[in-house]
Structure 1
Amino acid sequence: MPESPRFLLEKGREVEAMMVYKKIFKWNNAHNPGAEYQITELELPSGTQRPLRRSNSPQGTAKNFGADITHGLENSMGLFLQLFMPPYFKTTILLLFVWLASSFGFYGLSVWFPEYIKLVTSEEYNRNATVIKNTRYEDHLINNTRLDNIHYFNVDFENVTFKKTVLNHVLFLNCTLYNCIFSDIRSSKTFFKYSILHQINFTDTDMHSYRFPDCEMDNITFHGLAPGCQLDFDYNIHYKEIFQENLIGQLTMIPGTLAASLFMDKLGRVKVMSISMTLSSISAFFIWFLKSKTGVIVFEAVFNFIFISGWNGLDIATTEAFPTHIRTTAYGFLSAASRIAGVLGSLWFGQFIYSSQAIPMLTTSVVLLIGALFSLKLKETKDNLV
């Protein structure tokens, strides 16, 4: 892609700008060989000032890396400071608030959605657990099998051998185990709580101490305890499913972007932005009713579809709100600030995954509504010359 003629004009490189215009003219008239290029002189729009060129002094023209770095930093700082001076100060502040609000709400929910799906799935899984209570197992062999989602409550195990077995989400609660053997065992989210273990042999297992909270243990031997990481990985987490669930929400951004493109020039950037963020703010109240995995996935898809229109409007409005010489500086600053807000949003929402849904609901609604209100103060940019 050739460099922007507008940028070349701003930099005083008129000849290069003319060549780019000729190239564009040739592309646009590929089916009209007789068309002639008419423009012979290029001028900057009135009121536009070219930036000062570097001096031809030895200090300015020397091939000195340090001098180039210093000049670049000074130039960048000068451009950055212009964002907070008239006539750009108000626009910069308004856009900054909109960027911060959008990123805080969107990235915060982006973290909350998959974690909340995992929580809902886990709660449903636990509700379907097989409960065995007030039972006694004696001289029993559990061999080469997999025990899934079983809760033993007040169960006695005597002379029982667990061999070549996977224990997945198995809970021994208030149980008594006497003269039992656990051999070649792999486990996930399996715990012995408030239980009595006497004369138990663990051989080739991953039964680390954290699996025995508040237990009475006597004459326990461990042989071949699995070394390395003692983190208790959940066998029920399948990353393919997590990816697919998240992908559904991301794919709805495609039609959302197409819809935004249809209304962007008709309604204007500011209206698209404010309408999108207001609708997103209102839709956040439906978080309160999310009780199932399917409901969360559907809500995420709808929310992303609505929100992405405002995000696209914000991108375009930011680009069109500043003149060429500070446009990339403005966009880079606002984008960087939004990333910080996104990180803070992720941390904030992450704290309330296992608590009430009211906090993420109200936070999202209030933050996006603030962003919508600030966006209404922005000047429409659809007719700006870029």
Structure 2
Amino acid sequence: MAGGSLAWGILGDHLGRRRALISALSVAALFSAVASVMPTYGTFMTARFCSGLGVSGAFPLTFSYLTETCSRSTRSRYAGVLHSFWPMGAIFTSILSHMTMPTGGADIVEDNSEHWSSWHKFLILSILPEVACIVGLIWASESPRYLLEASREVEALAVYQRLHRLNKARTQYGLTELELPGRAAYRDRPASPTRNVLNQGLETFRQAFQRVSSPTHFRTTLLLASLHFLLGFLYMGISTFSSTIIKDLREHEYFLHKQYVTNNNFSRIYVNHTIENVEYRSTTFSNATFSHLNLNHVDFVNCTIEDSEFNSVKASVSYFKDTTIKDSRFIDTDLTDHHFINCNLINNTFLSLVSGCNVDFDYNIYLDDLYDETLSWAGFMFPSLCFMGFVLETATRPPVAATASALAAIASAGMFVANAAYFVTTVELAVKILLVCALNAVTLAVVEGYPCHLRCTAHGMMRSLYHIASLCAIPIYSMLVHTMLLLPTILTMCLAIITALLCTRIQDNSKVLL
């Protein structure tokens, strides 16, 4: 996503908002469909990488495209509505996955044995909004401001007249309302001296970076880039924190109910039901049969297993430790060498192992928690961003962004006392909403802070930094959560306060005609 934001941001200033947006959505939809039929992990991840390029490319393009089409008095409102459709997309994706895919680990393993499993259907259905957007954009007009900068004044005038007519204005469209650019930035762009695509792309990137970081825009670029990095780091940080804490709480609750079977003897038993969350210690199994079942978090510690059979057994985080296994048979199981730790194996038979993978798939993946968590924050974020759009119509960008960031710092104090899943979700909800409201104001500051021929390029660079910061936040917060909660709390509060202070330095250009 970092690469896609950067690449399509530059393309948006070269090809036009509409054409670049169609290409970005087409790449996203095409490779999402391709990923659904990829046969191996490597090809699947390659297709997902390419799909991510297109998805992230749409973000800097849509904001420039929309705000350049709106009037000065309404662009804040519609930018807020546009931003609010991001959590709506999260809700759509969550409901779609909940309807099409299993939520239990064992069910997922069973589903993946099918040639056309549920995740294939989910990926196909998830591209429907992209296809709808592409179809709609075919009949949409190009950004009139881009057309003006590209010296296509006649086309720009036709677009302005069409917008005037669609808004059912009673007055005749006046040519005096058309503010021509001071210079034709695209007309003066030099032609590339080489036909080498790679060299031309690198040269285009270098020129774009030079223009955005020129003395005229250096202060604005440095400030807004820092804000995007901080907001991306904080947003992914609180997401990682909440998901990790909720998982740890669920696992702690799960293992509190662990059963312990000690010093028992089982002879001539037949077991064909799932065994879950049990530890057998110093126990003897003689002439026992385990058939067509799952071992979920089951440990055999210092046990003796003689003349027994494991037939069609699947294991999830289950191990044999310091155990003697003699004259036994393992048929069609996924129990491999790493499941036997310091064991004494004598005259056993292993036939048709299902898998030799050394990574255990944990059946306790808590997808229901992820579904509920997404619905909670996205459901509240949608009206919040719509409301923020109206607030920004009457207020300037700096105080709104600074206030939202400061409130996020206060709300993040709840991370220190995160001892229940519902409380963690509440803190995540509050912090996420406030951070995205601040991001909405900062996004408008980016759109309004650069001229038309640099707008998408600058925004693409900012979004690229946002995604890079998200990548940095994941390992840092994952590590800090398992130390002491005071550390991630202090880190989040300090960075949110710094963000609030930097927001006060934003130059307000809300009255500028885009």
* TM-score bucket of the superposed structures, by smaller chain: 0.7 to 0.9
Letter in 2 for 1:99: H
**25, 28, 38: which one aligns with 2:174:** 38
8 Å contact from structure 1 (residues 113, 296) kept in 2 = yes
8 Å contact from structure 1 (residues 112, 353) kept in 2 = yes
Q: Structure 1's 223 and 90: CA in aligned 2 closer, same or farther, altered over 3 A?
A: same
2:339 equivalent to 1:203: no
8 Å contact from structure 1 (residues 84, 92) kept in 2 = yes
Greater helix content:
2
In the TM superposition, residue 251 of structure 1 has moved relative to its aligned partner by 2.7
In the TM superposition, residue 315 of structure 1 has moved relative to its aligned partner by 1.0
Identify the residue that residue 82 of structure 1 maps to in structure 2.
211
Letter in 1 for 2:226: F
Identify the residue that residue 319 of structure 2 maps to in structure 1.
191
Identify the residue that residue 130 of structure 1 maps to in structure 2.
259
Distance 2:196 2:327 in 1: 77
Distance 2:435 2:492 in 1: 12
Runs of 5+ in structure 1 lacking a partner?
none
Greater strand content:
1
**435, 445, 457: which one aligns with 1:307:** 435
In the TM superposition, residue 74 of structure 1 has moved relative to its aligned partner by 5.5
2:396 equivalent to 1:268: yes
Q: Which runs of structure 2 are paired with 1:277-288 in the superposition (5 Å)?
A: 277-288=405-416
SS in 1 for 2:347: strand
**353, 363, 368: which one aligns with 1:235:** 363
Identify the residue that residue 168 of structure 2 maps to in structure 1.
29
Distance 2:254 2:406 in 1: 36
| Aligned residue pairs, count | 375
Letter in 1 for 2:187: R
Give me the identity figure in percent.
28
In the TM superposition, residue 103 of structure 1 has moved relative to its aligned partner by 0.7
SS in 2 for 1:145: coil
Identify the residue that residue 97 of structure 1 maps to in structure 2.
226
Letter in 2 for 1:318: V
8 Å contact from structure 1 (residues 153, 173) kept in 2 = yes
In the TM superposition, residue 138 of structure 1 has moved relative to its aligned partner by 3.6
State which drifts further: 280-289 or 224-233.
224-233
Distance 1:72 1:51 in 2: 19
In the TM superposition, residue 97 of structure 1 has moved relative to its aligned partner by 0.6
8 Å contact from structure 1 (residues 181, 201) kept in 2 = yes
Higher Cα Rg, which structure: 1
Distance 2:177 2:293 in 1: 83
State which drifts further: 153-162 or 121-130.
153-162
Distance 1:196 1:292 in 2: 41
Give CA deviations for 1:27-69 in whole Å, capped at 9, x if unaligned: 3335x3xx33333685547xx43327359xxx96x9x992999
Q: Structure 1's 2 and 202: CA in aligned 2 closer, same or farther, altered over 3 A?
A: closer
Distance 1:183 1:160 in 2: 11
In the TM superposition, residue 123 of structure 1 has moved relative to its aligned partner by 1.7
8 Å contact from structure 2 (residues 241, 477) kept in 1 = yes
**104, 108, 120: which one aligns with 2:237:** 108
Give CA deviations for 1:330-386 in whole Å, capped at 9, x if unaligned: 111111222222222223234445443334333322222222221111112222222
Distance 2:446 2:435 in 1: 17
Q: Structure 1's 346 and 141: CA in aligned 2 closer, same or farther, altered over 3 A?
A: same
Identify the residue that residue 509 of structure 2 maps to in structure 1.
381
2:381 equivalent to 1:247: no
Runs of 4+ with >6 A deviation: 67-73
**134, 148, 171: which one aligns with 1:9:** 148
Q: Structure 1's 205 and 70: CA in aligned 2 closer, same or farther, altered over 3 A?
A: closer
8 Å contact from structure 1 (residues 281, 365) kept in 2 = yes
Letter in 1 for 2:224: L
In the TM superposition, residue 92 of structure 1 has moved relative to its aligned partner by 0.8
8 Å contact from structure 1 (residues 188, 232) kept in 2 = yes
8 Å contact from structure 1 (residues 245, 297) kept in 2 = yes
Letter in 1 for 2:370: I
SS in 1 for 2:454: helix
In the TM superposition, residue 316 of structure 1 has moved relative to its aligned partner by 0.8
SS in 2 for 1:197: strand
Letter in 2 for 1:37: Y
Q: Structure 1's 43 and 208: CA in aligned 2 closer, same or farther, altered over 3 A?
A: closer
SS in 1 for 2:195: helix
2:53 equivalent to 1:53: no
8 Å contact from structure 2 (residues 238, 432) kept in 1 = no
State which drifts further: 86-95 or 103-112.
103-112
Q: Structure 1's 41 and 377: CA in aligned 2 closer, same or farther, altered over 3 A?
A: closer
Distance 1:161 1:68 in 2: 65
Q: Structure 1's 160 and 9: CA in aligned 2 closer, same or farther, altered over 3 A?
A: closer
Runs of 5+ in structure 2 lacking a partner?
1-139
**121, 143, 156: which one aligns with 2:284:** 156
Distance 1:247 1:268 in 2: 31
2:469 equivalent to 1:341: yes
Identify the residue that residue 290 of structure 1 maps to in structure 2.
418
Identify the residue that residue 21 of structure 2 maps to in structure 1.
none
